[in-house]
């Protein structure tokens, strides 16, 4: 679900920025002509029909005085007093002056806004617009404010309705107004239109906020546009390189959704080198990624450095993973060293059996004999006969025939190795007998 970004529109601050209507600048002019109704909205960058002009009417001295006092109360946050003063003025005006009534209703709308009485604020602002007596700028400010008020109440279609009127007449809308349009479309899950507006907002702003990009990203993701999502994330990383979440999101998209595993691994690796990945799970993902992409030595280096830095705990599983990375890199010495550390932490001797196999692949029979003996001593083996067979074969290769016979006799006590062990016993006894006969014959 697209996150809500309405907190990007602090309404009271916007109201102050737009300005409570300046009663001092009101000039005496003839009554304005009836304004032409604006059609549906146009996108920014085009020009409306040139028939809307700046429009103001005169204020009586009494109205001017009361509005000035009300402004002072609003400035002093005396909102209830300002409301009472403005309501009294509105009741006295009746229908004598359209402009004065519209101006008072506008002020009342701002008072209700400050009091967070949003439905009343909207009602007053709508009534002020319906009178159709405000100047172009005042009308535009009201449209914009109402769009934000509807957004605060999550009335997204109403927000779009008034903002469409605003955009029809606004040749150069500010970035936060464009953002409001994007947010409304996003909340209505019209992501295609929302993307158009958020792009315009970002282009318009000299310093677009981070949550604007997050909204842009969320809408592409909602459309399952993973390549476009990756492009947005790349921009976010360029602007906020210290946010590791963006690196991880980009790597995840590349790996899982775009099947660009090599690119995903490059992103993870770059984030690691920047020092952003310090959690154990993050680093292990990088290590496994290297192993999966047939670059196990790189994974081993990352793992070793992270363990030395204290980012990865020296646990049984982590030592075992390091050993596997070195083994796949054909770095047997380092693989054996890591496996020994893992085996020392294990509750059984299975890892010592694996160590013995690594020694055997390098014809290191002394290592085989020691590791297999350690496995037997630690116990808990699924196939103890195999460990005894390793001890026997290592002793045989080292010409320790009596030790080999003792080991093979132990192996013969286990069903899985009984037959092979018996054959070895026969073979060794035969060799010993032949050697004895040769000695005696000489």
Q: What is the tens place of the pLDDT at every residue in 409-435?
A: 999 999 999 999 999 999 999 999 998
Task: Give the bridge partners for 44, in sequence order.
Answer: 46
- Average pLDDT of 37-48? 38
- What is the average per-residue pLDDT within 143-162? 94
Determine how many CB atoms are found less than 10 A away from the CB of residue 205: 15
Percent of the chain with pLDDT over 90: 73
pLDDT (average), residues 246-257: 95
DSSP H helices, 223-364, are 226-239, 244-252, 261-273, 280-292, 296-309, 316-328, 332-345, 350-361
DSSP helix, strand, coil percent of the chain (3-state; round to 5)? 70, 0, 30
Kindly tell me the burial class for residue 16, based on how many C-beta atoms sit within 10 Å of its own C-beta (0-12, 13-18, 19 or more).
middle
Same fold, 1-28+55-224 and 353-442: yes
Find the mean pLDDT for residues 28-42: 35
- What kind and span of H or E run contains 62? helix 61-75
Q: CA 101, CA 104: separation in Å to the nearest integer?
A: 5
Residues 1-28+55-224, CATH architecture: Alpha Horseshoe (1.25)
50-64, 133-147, 323-337: least confidently modelled range:
50-64
Report the SS3 class of residue 347: coil
Residue range 353-442, CATH number: 1.25.40
Q: Cα(327)–Cα(314) distance, rounded to whole angstroms? A: 18
Question: How distant, in Å, are the alpha carbons of 59, 182, 336 from that of 295?
Answer: 80, 44, 19
CA–CA separation, 204 and 211 (whole Å)? 15
Residue 209, pLDDT > 50, answer yes
Examine the pLDDT at 52 and tell me if it is beyond 70.
Answer: no
Q: What is the DSSP letter of 7?
A: G
DSSP class per residue in 81-148:
HHHHHHHHHHHHHTTS-HHHHHHHHHHHHHHHHHTT-HHHHHHHHHHHHHHT-S-HHHHHHHHHHHHH
3-state secondary structure of 133: coil
pLDDT at 57: 56
Q: Sign of the C-alpha dihedral, residues 70, 72, 73, 79? A: positive
The three-state secondary structure class of 219 is: helix
CB under 8 A, 24+ apart: contacts of 80-87: 80/115, 82/107, 82/111, 83/108, 83/111, 83/112, 83/115, 86/111
Segment 401-408 shows an average pLDDT of 96
For residue 40, pLDDT over 90 is answered with no
What number is the average pLDDT over the span 395-415? Answer: 95
| Rounded average pLDDT over 404-411 | 96
Question: Alpha-carbon torsion 253, 259, 263, 265, what sign?
Answer: positive
How high is the pLDDT of residue 442?
57
Give the mean pLDDT of 301-328: 96
The pLDDT assigned to 10 comes to: 37
**pLDDT higher than 90, residue 34:** no
Q: pLDDT digits over 98-132, tens only?
A: 899 999 999 999 999 899 999 999 999 999 999 98
pLDDT band at 268 (very low <50, low <70, confident <90, very high): very high
Predicted confidence at residue 5, as pLDDT, reads 36
Query: Mean pLDDT in the chain?
Result: 86
Q: Over 90: is that where the pLDDT of 197 sits?
A: yes
pLDDT confidence bin for 39, thresholds 50/70/90: very low
Please name which of 264, 243, 245, 246 lies closest in space to residue 255, comparing C-alpha atoms. Answer: 264
Q: Would the pLDDT of 4 be above 80?
A: no
Report d(CA 38, CA 210) in Å as an integer: 34
CA distance 230 to 244: 15
Separation CA 138–CA 133 (nearest Å): 10
Percent of the chain with pLDDT over 70: 87
Alpha-carbon distance of 292 to 284, in angstroms, equals 12
Residue 218's pLDDT band (cuts 50, 70, 90): very high
**Residue ranges per structural domain of the chain:** 1-28+55-224, 353-442
């Amino acid at each position: 679900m697209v996150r809500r970004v309405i907190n990007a529109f602090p309404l009271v601050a916007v109201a102050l920025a737009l300005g409570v209507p300046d009663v001092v600048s009101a000039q005496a002019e003839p009554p304005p002509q009836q304004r032409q109704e604006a059609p549906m909205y146009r996108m920014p960058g085009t020009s409306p029909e040139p028939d809307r002009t700046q429009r103001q009417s005169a204020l009586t001295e009494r109205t001017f005085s009361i509005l000035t006092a009300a402004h002072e109360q609003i400035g002093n946050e005396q909102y209830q007093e300002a409301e009472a003063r403005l309501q009294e003025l509105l009741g006295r005006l009746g229908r004598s002056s359209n402009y004065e009534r519209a101006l008072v209703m506008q002020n009342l709308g701002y008072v209700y806004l400050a009091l967070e009485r949003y439905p009343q604020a909207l009602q007053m602002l709508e009534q002020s617009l319906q009178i159709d007596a405000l100047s172009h700028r005042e009308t535009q400010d009201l449209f914009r404010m109402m769009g934000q008020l509807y957004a605060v109440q999550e009335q997204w279609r109403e927000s779009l309705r008034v903002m469409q009127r605003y955009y029809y007449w606004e040749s150069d809308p500010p970035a936060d107004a464009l953002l409001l349009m994007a947010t409304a479309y996003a909340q209505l899950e019209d992501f295609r239109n929302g993307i158009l507006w958020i792009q315009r907002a970002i282009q318009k702003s000299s310093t677009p906020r981070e949550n604007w990009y997050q909204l842009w990203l969320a809408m592409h993701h909602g459309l399952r546009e993973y390549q476009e999502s990756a492009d947005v994330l790349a921009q976010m990383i360029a602007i906020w390189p210290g946010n590791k979440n963006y690196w991880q999101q980009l790597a995840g998209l590349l790996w899982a959704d775009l099947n660009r595993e090599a690119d995903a691994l490059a992103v993870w690796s770059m984030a690691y080198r920047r020092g952003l990945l310090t959690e154990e799970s993050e680093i292990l993902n990088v290590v496994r990624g290297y192993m999966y992409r047939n670059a196990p030595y790189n994974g081993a280096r990352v793992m070793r450095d992270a363990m030395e830095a204290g980012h990865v705990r020296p646990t049984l599983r982590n030592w075992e993973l390091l050993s596997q990375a070195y083994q796949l890199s054909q770095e047997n010495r380092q693989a054996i060293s890591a496996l020994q550390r893992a085996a020392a932490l294990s509750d059984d001797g299975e890892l010592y059996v694996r160590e013995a196999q690594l020694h055997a692949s390098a014809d290191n029979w002394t290592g085989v004999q020691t590791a297999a003996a350690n496995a037997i001593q630690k116990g808990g083996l699924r196939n103890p006969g195999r460990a005894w067979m390793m001890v026997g074969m290592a002793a045989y290769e080292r010409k320790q025939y009596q030790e080999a016979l003792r080991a093979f006799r132990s192996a013969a006590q286990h069903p899985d190795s009984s037959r092979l062990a018996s054959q070895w016993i026969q073979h060794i006894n035969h060799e010993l007998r032949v050697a004895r006969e040769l000695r005696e014959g000489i």
